[in-house]
Chain A
Amino acid sequence: GAVVSQHPSWVICKSGTSVKIECRSLDFQATTMFWYRQFPKQSLMLMATSNEGSKATYEQGVEKDKFLINHASLTLSTLTVTSAHPEDSSFYICSARVAREYEQYFGPGTRLTVT
């Protein structure tokens, strides 16, 4: 089946620094990629939808200047958390979708801890 990878799998950073998370579709070209955030014991919350070559569409309440999304190719999307603070500590998950297919393929997630 289709595989989506994320890098890094976990990261610890200091407050005020920026962190970049990569999401790659390994064996298929993804027309659309999605970024989610999940706090402990909570459900996934959709942050943004990203299409290759165009600006990401952010969900209401998600700060686009803080969570920068770049979708440079059909196999790579990146999420940069700028000026991270402890409240940004969370599990970040990406997913990818192929046009005309209904299934979304999820990455294994990246655990971000901001100290």
Chain B
Amino acid sequence: DAKTTQPNSMESNEEEPVHLPCNHSTISGTDYIHWYRQLPSQGPEYVIHGLTSNVNNRMASLAIAEDRKSSTLILHRATLRDAAVYYCIREGGSEKLVFGKGTKLTVNP
């Protein structure tokens, strides 16, 4: 049980921002939210993680709702290399990552 809900697919245009939503309405107070992405025939790659506050790093930003029941991964300027499956994962301290189906992001040139 992945315990998160994401759209199956999204499309974006190159150099435009992308907002990837994730619903985790049953999240508990100590669960972290992790985002990973996977390019075809490769292992996943860490993108970002957060607990309560919004987070920024060189790859993306993570906006977490005040009630923590949802979050949004923001890619500020999509490139063709950002085309991948993006996974939003709840992790409750067990270190285990349970992957759901993720969102397949297509970036149009």
Known A43-B87, A43-B101, A43-B102; contact A106-B96, beta-carbon cutoff 8 A: no
A-B contacts counted at CB < 8 A amount to 51
- A106 in contact with B32 (CB, 8 Å): no
Q: Which residue of A lies closest to B100 (CB)?
A: A43
Contacts of B36 in A (CB 8 A): 104, 106
Q: For this complex, into which size category does the number of interface residues on chain B fall?
A: 20 to 34
| Number of A residues, CB within 8 Å of B | 23
* Bitwise interface map of B from 76 to 102 toward A, beta carbon under 8 Å scored 1, else 0: 000000000001000100011111111
Known A43-B87, A109-B41; contact A104-B46, beta-carbon cutoff 8 A: yes
Among all A-B residue pairs, the 8 with the closest Cβ atoms = A106-B43, A44-B99, A43-B99, A103-B46, A93-B43, A106-B44, A109-B43, A107-B43
Chain A residues at the B interface, C-beta cutoff of 8 Å: 4, 6, 32, 34, 36, 43-46, 49, 91, 93, 95, 97, 102-109, 111
Chain B residues at the A interface, C-beta cutoff of 8 Å: 2, 32, 34, 36, 38, 41-46, 49, 87, 91, 95-102
